[in-house]
Amino acid sequence: MTDNLNTMHKSDVIVALDIGTTKVCALAGRKNEHGKLEILGVGKVESNGVSRGVVSNIEKTVKAIAEAVSAAERNTGQKIKVVHVGIAGQHIKSLQHRGILTREDDLTEISQKDIDKLINDMYKLVLPPGDKILHVIPQEYTVDSEQGITDPIGMSGVRLEANFHIITGQITASNNIHRCVERVGLKVADMTLEPIGSAEAILSHEEKEAGIALVDIGGGTTDITIFQEGIIRHTAVIPFGGNVITNDIKEGCTVMQQQAEKLKRKFGSAMAEEVYDNRIITIPGLKGREPKEISEKNLARIIQARAEEILDYAVWEIRRSGFERKLIGGIVLTGGGALLNHIDKLSEFHTGYSTRIGLPIEKLAHGYQDKLCSPIYATAIGLLIKGIKDAESGKVVYEDLIEAEKEEKETIVEETIEEEVLQTTEPVDNSGPKKWYEEVFKKTKEWFEAEPDAEF
């Protein structure tokens, strides 16, 4: 097992695991000599154990993870043991906090050690019961009343202050993900908020500087990330996504769930105006019943109503962030929901922001598989990029994970040996001569008390 981990580390192969509501996706990749991302293995299976981004069935999720990782292993030709995982769900919250550090020496330069101390202090914040801090993201720094500093390293000053964007989530949701991954026999290198991962794959540096809102419409959640001046300003998770559109089609057209999903993907449109009035879709009837006819216009109306509601929530989060007038780049749509026809047009008309569909291909090396061009892989590719950055910066050290696994394995072996010894070893008699006399007395007594033979 340790050898496999060493092999992964030496070849710089990083593995990302996107545990979503509709799919579980495992991607194995590495950075090439040109700084581009090479995808070496892809595993994608249907997910049945996740609801609204949160694990709701451990067994089903474990099975899906095992299948996805196995498929990625077949492509890479090596055993996967360490993964970078994403987390989402309606339990995700964000808050702003200000930290202050008073330095003892004003002559020495501010170092990374000072910034790390300031960030570590944020992890001591008192949170509601059951919550934990997932990310602490610096916004800007202030050095001795000098405001608006993005990188204070190398400056001199006594008082170092910073504004932080802090992302929190439920401990139980995080623990369930860890439990699922570890039951497959994998180690979690780190856990990243999925909107941050998607942003890594989709957004350019210029867009982040200009101000932009990334809206990732997934199966069970819609994730929103707002950037301005290159800094994450706001994150939010809306607890519904593409699945509610499918459910609306199921109810509105009185069809089966699978049929509703196929109707959405093949014939769905987010704008009813773009669909001809006289186009009819025919669905086979159940058990010899007559086929069912559905108007494509009515289908589009159902989809548009729910898509507009999702966009309304996105706009509400943009306004809540306070950056509604500072988004020069507008909105970028990604995730499976971005595959809906005319969703970008609907976004422009409904929100007033310029909109584009984000495809996660800008940072991929040439020769990637065509299917990776889809927005549904945005989160997984982003987690992979984030994992590579963490490994390069030393934030994630594979040797430490190897050592931890080795110690854990040795502990398990020792406990097993102790149990076997306790079960198989007979009690040792240390009573000496006293025990011998007692045995002789017992045998003699039994001989005298025994009944005489019948012959005598």
Domains and CATH numbers, the chain: 93-170 (3.30.1490.110), 244-302 (3.30.420.40)
Confidence at 5, pLDDT banded by 50, 70, 90: very low
Reported as a single tens digit per residue, the pLDDT across 138-161 is: 999 999 988 889 899 999 889 999
| Percentage of the chain modeled with pLDDT above 90 | 62
Whether the Cβ atoms of residue 271 and residue 346 lie closer than 8 Å to each other: yes
Residue by residue, what is the 3-state secondary structure of the chain? CHHHHHHHHHCCCEEEEEECCCEEEEEEEEECCCCCEEEEEEEEEECCCEECCEECCHHHHHHHHHHHHHHHHHHHCCCCCEEEEEECCCCCEEEEEEEEEECCCCCCECCHHHHHHHHHHHCCCCCCCCEEEEEEEEEEEEECCEEEECCCCCCECCEEEEEEEEEEEEHHHHHHHHHHHHHCCCEEEEEEEHHHHHHHHHCCHHHHHHCEEEEEECCCCEEEEEEECCEEEEEEEECCCHHHHHHHHHHHHCCCHHHHHHHHHHHCECCHHHCCCCCEEEECCCCCCCCEEEEHHHHHHHHHHHHHHHHHHHHHHHHHHCCCCCCCCEEEEECHHHHCECHHHHHHHHHCCCEEECCCCCCECCCCCHHHHCHHHHHHHHHHHHHHHHHHHCCCCHHHHHHHHHHHHHHHHHHHHHHHHHHHCCCCCCCCHHHHHHHHHHHHHHHHHCCCCCCC
For 30, list phi and psi in degrees, rounded to 5: -155, 165
pLDDT score for 422: 52
Confidence at 9, pLDDT banded by 50, 70, 90: very low
Pair type for strands 330-334 and 212-217: parallel
Contacts of 113 (CB under 8 A, 6+ apart): none
Q: What is the pTM of this model?
A: 0.82
Residue of 430 and 120 predicted with greater confidence: 120
Tokens of 62: 């474990």
**Mean pLDDT confidence for 270-279:** 90
pLDDT score for 4: 40
Reported as a single tens digit per residue, the pLDDT across 230-243 is: 999 999 999 889 99
Q: Say yes or no to pLDDT of 6 above 50.
A: no
Average pLDDT for the chain = 85
**Mean pLDDT confidence for 94-121:** 90
Q: Say yes or no to pLDDT of 421 above 60.
A: no
Residue of 408 and 455 predicted with greater confidence: 408
**Mean pLDDT confidence for 77-103:** 90
40-54, 178-192, 304-318, 436-450: least confidently modelled range: 436-450
pLDDT score for 287: 80
Q: Residue 266's CB: how many other CB atoms inside 10 A?
A: 8
Closest CA to 266 of 311, 310, 300, 241: 300
Confidence at 455, pLDDT banded by 50, 70, 90: very low
For 53, list phi and psi in degrees, rounded to 5: 80, 0
pLDDT score for 115: 93
**Mean pLDDT confidence for 96-118:** 89
For 83, list phi and psi in degrees, rounded to 5: -135, 150
Angle between helices 398-424 and 2-10 (to 10 degrees): 180
